[in-house]
Amino acid sequence: MGRRFSIPVKFFGVFFLTMLLVAGAFITTLNSLRRQVSRNEARAVAGQVAAFRSWIAQSGMIWVQTLAPGFHDFLDEQIDAKGGTFYGKNPALATRELAQIAQREDARAFFRVTSDNWRKEENAPDVFEAAAIASFKEDKSLEFVESYEGGMYRYAQPLFLEQGCLPCHGDPKDAPPAVLEKYGSDKAFGYKVGQVRGVVSVTVPSLGLKDVLLSIAKPFSLALLALALVLNIFFIRTVVMRLIELTRNAEAIAAGKLETPLVYTNPSESNDELDHLYHAVNLLKRSLVILFKRVNSQGGKQAEKSS
């Protein structure tokens, strides 16, 4: 076997490994927190989008009297008794325009509703969204899919077909004429209630570890870290350094330097095992002093007799 390590070396080794484990656990926790914060933000956006879409689906369509600049698309139009024109927007169209408005306003979160059976080419899913749709169709219990792409957090949750969606996505024979006229009878039909129609896809900037660290680097947290450092320094001074000192004192006594002082608290007044160990070494030193005195005394007597 090789040479054993000293107690201080063992302590610093264990301390260093412990710090590495703590740092590893801390980084893992930060990553989990970072992901959870982004997930909660994206989930909130997706939930609002799904609720907005469901509300329109229950009404069948929303009608506006004026088409906003840049949003001239509509599904149907009607003229009221006074000659005014109202334009109808179905759930897909209204949601798409809401997503475009959010993007124009430089909102932090961007979203879109997409499907693997789309009616307009610009609604086609990207790679992440297509994979998410496939996952939801394979596992109906899956609540969400997430990923990181180029500093962005991607989130997708499924959209299931509801009863109010059947007129536009069920049997083409039951579809409103305006839907057939605009989209034809071949795209996005044939669904049943409960099937995966598509996904709400949300993209938000991912939080960096630096951002998370800054958010938790509060005075109280820093004070706790400082306290942990002080406690370790206190342990090193009261245990490790005393062990080193005792080792040197014991070596000096073994070398015959019996006058070496041993500073400690009497065991009767202390529960510190190091004080007990110091006391034991001190008793040994006293025994050696007595032994050497006896040896010297006997040696002197024999010298007198021989003379």
Percent of residues, the chain, with pLDDT higher than 90: 26
- pLDDT per residue over 220-240, tens digit each? 877 888 888 888 888 888 888
Domain ranges of the chain: 7-207, 218-296
Calculate the CA 259 to chain-centre distance: 60
Mean pLDDT of the chain: 86
- pLDDT per residue over 2-35, tens digit each? 567 777 777 778 888 888 888 888 778 777 888 8
Query: Is the pLDDT confidence value at 300 over 70?
Result: no
What pTM value is reported for the model?
0.66
- DSSP secondary structure code for residue 85 in this structure: E
- Taking the C-alpha atoms of residue 156 and residue 298, their distance in angstroms, rounded to an integer, is 95
Classify the C-alpha dihedral 252-257-262-267 as positive or negative: positive
| Rounded alpha-carbon distances, angstroms, from residue 99 to 93, 95, 214, 296 | 10, 6, 31, 101
- Taking the C-alpha atoms of residue 136 and residue 197, their distance in angstroms, rounded to an integer, is 10
- pLDDT per residue over 26-52, tens digit each? 778 777 888 888 899 999 999 999 899
- Taking the C-alpha atoms of residue 154 and residue 201, their distance in angstroms, rounded to an integer, is 7
The angle, 0 to 180 degrees and rounded to 10, between the axes of the packed helices 7-59 and 241-254 is: 170
Find the helix or strand (DSSP H, E) in which 9 lies: helix 7-59
